[in-house]
Structure 1
Amino acid sequence: MKYAMLVCGDMSVWEARVAAEAERDGQELGAWFGRWGAAGKLAEGGAELQHPRTARTVRPGANGELSVHDGPYMELKEVVGGVVLLEADDLDEAISIAATWPGVVNGIATVEVRPLQPAG
């Protein structure tokens, strides 16, 4: 079954990382993707999202017209920074994989795991 792993954290913490920490983070993420990719647990890899200030929110407006706004819908300290699609036997296995995410291990991120709706 496929699961979405939503990587969440505080943008101010991520932005405050110095170059050495960012380089270490990149190496740890590379190792994480290598480990779980080789184990066949990554459904389609992952995608890092750009800064929330680049986001646009589209919602219904007055008279059936669409309303487009800059940024995320809500002002939140913690935002989704990326998405990884996992292939796991069950939710417990998906959670076990997510628990090894370097940002979780290093205390700078949280990960939300959700089953994907089956196609069709």
Structure 2
Amino acid sequence: MRYVMIITGDESHWFGAAAASGLLDEVNAWWQKWHDAGKVVRGGAELQPSSTAKTVGPGVDGQPTVTDGPFLELKEVVGGFIHLDADDIDDAVAVAATWPGIIAAGDRIEVRPIVE
């Protein structure tokens, strides 16, 4: 089955700090390990900082309106996602639980099945 790992956390721990702390090397090793094991499929994407985002939502006139940045002021934001191929949700969670940023940066990982 296919799953997605949604990586959330405090983005102040990601940009610049990750490279300086060695976390980037750990993340690269994580990708290689799980790619070689056939668990990471179809890649994923690291997202730019939330300050670069635009949010589209309903306007007062019923038409879409665009605002800068994320809709809510949150400390935790989505930083990226990874597609997994796993036997079941427990297998996907076991892979997600090895994400280096959980301990090093306080990241949280949401694992969800993909609609086929």
Q: Same fold (TM over 0.5)?
A: yes
Aligned partner of 2:9 in structure 1 is 9
TM-superposed CA distance for 1:15, in Å, is: 4.5
Query: Unaligned 5+ residue runs, structure 1?
Result: none
Letter in 1 for 2:31: F
CA distance in 1, matches of 2:79, 2:42: 17
Letter in 2 for 1:49: L
Query: Unaligned 5+ residue runs, structure 2?
Result: none
List structure 1 runs of 4+ shifted beyond 6 angstroms.
none
Identity %: 49
CA distance in 1, matches of 2:20, 2:115: 39
TM-superposed CA distance for 1:59, in Å, is: 1.1
Change in CA separation of 1:108 and 1:16 when aligned onto 2, cut-off 3 Å = farther
Q: Number of aligned pairs?
A: 116
CA distance in 2, matches of 1:37, 1:116: 18
2:57 alignment partner, SS class: strand
After superposition, give the CA deviation of every residue in 1:10-58 in whole Å (9 maximum; x if it has no partner).
Answer: 123335727531xx11211111111110111112112100000111111
TM-superposed CA distance for 1:107, in Å, is: 4.6
Aligned partner of 1:66 in structure 2 is 64
Taking structure 2 as the reference length, the TM-score comes to 0.91
Taking structure 1 as the reference length, the TM-score comes to 0.88
RMSD over aligned Cα atoms = 1.6
Pick aligned residue for 1:85 from 74, 83, 86: 83
TM-superposed CA distance for 1:5, in Å, is: 0.3
CA distance in 2, matches of 1:56, 1:41: 32
